Amino acid sequence: MDERSKYLRRLVIRQLEGGRRGHLGGALSLVEILRVLYDDILIFNPKNPKWARRDRFILSKGHGCPSLYAILADKGFFPRSYLSTFCQSGAMLGGHPEHNIPGVEVSTGSLGHGLSIGVGMALALRHPSSLITRSIFTYPRVFVLMGDGETNEGSVWEAALSAGKHKLSNLMVIIDYNKMQVYGPTAKVQDLEPFSDKWKAFGFAATEVDGHDTKELKKTLLGLPLEKNKPSVIICHTVKGKGIKQIENDPSWHHKRGLTDEDIKSLYKALEKYA
């Protein structure tokens, strides 16, 4: 794990230090995915977050928002000082993203809804009446990042059927497949395998990558869409709590509250020791 990945994780811990609570495990599994998206893939303008020709990004897994806030602050959508106000009364940054935050397209956190919204956006953006085209890509793209446990929801597969029907090649689905849900492994709660084959059956082009390997992520994301006239899904194999050994794959760290100064110091210390 290089210095940039550690830096972004420090920004995540900084939020928990301010709010004394948060979904740390599921936020840390997202860091490299968001890093590559915002460093190398997405077209956006932090000075004009609603620029018509931007790519749209939806964090359907809304509880992973500390990592999204970290990268948005890093890119200049809002001051980094806001991170210390996370989950405090009257502050902008809450425990789930809201559309009033610069850089956040839609309010999310009610799991299973992000893909449906993304399908609607992708359809609208390619409709002739939208008049939004770009020289690099035919249409602005829509990226939807979901959690693996979230795909237990039936609404996800209804949206997937619609995306496949409409051949939404400007829709890119990314799955944070950390294999842990709120209270245990996905294999025990609701087994998803054969996961890739399910998406293919719904009309998607699918591939699998190491969700913490930035080079592999960048190569795959730059190759989107995976197939012409199909929506794409990238299944990212990740580790819940990645970067802090004592919380990796521990479902008790799905969400923590009442964190003490010692807890925070321990998190920072473990991160710096991580190879």
User: Using one digit for the tens of pLDDT, what is the confidence trace for 78-134?
Assistant: 999 999 999 999 999 999 999 999 999 999 988 999 999 999 999 999 887 766 655
- Over 80: is that where the pLDDT of 136 sits? no
pLDDT at 255 over 80: yes
* 183 pLDDT tier (thresholds 50, 70, 90): confident
Cβ-contact 186, 180 below 8 angstroms: yes
Does the pLDDT at position 14 exceed 60? yes
Task: Label residue 41 by pLDDT band (50, 70, 90).
Answer: very high
On the question of pLDDT at 178 being above 90, the answer is: yes
CATH topology of domain 3-273: Rossmann fold (3.40.50)
Using pLDDT thresholds of 50, 70 and 90, give the confidence band for residue 39.
very high
Asked whether the predicted pLDDT for residue 193 surpasses 90, the reply is yes
Contact by Cβ (8 Å): 249, 180? yes
Query: Which class for 129: exposed (0-12), middle (13-18), buried (19 or more C-beta within 10 A)?
Result: exposed
Q: Tell me the pLDDT band of 200, cut-offs 50, 70 and 90.
A: very high
Domain spans in the chain, listed from the N-terminal domain onward = 3-273
Average pLDDT over residues 184-201: 96
Residue 269 has pLDDT above 80, yes or no: yes
Helix (H) or strand (E) holding 236: strand 232-237
Q: Is the peptide bond before 231 cis (omega within 30 degrees of 0)?
A: no
d(CA 234, CA 218): 12
For position 137, what pLDDT does the model report? 52
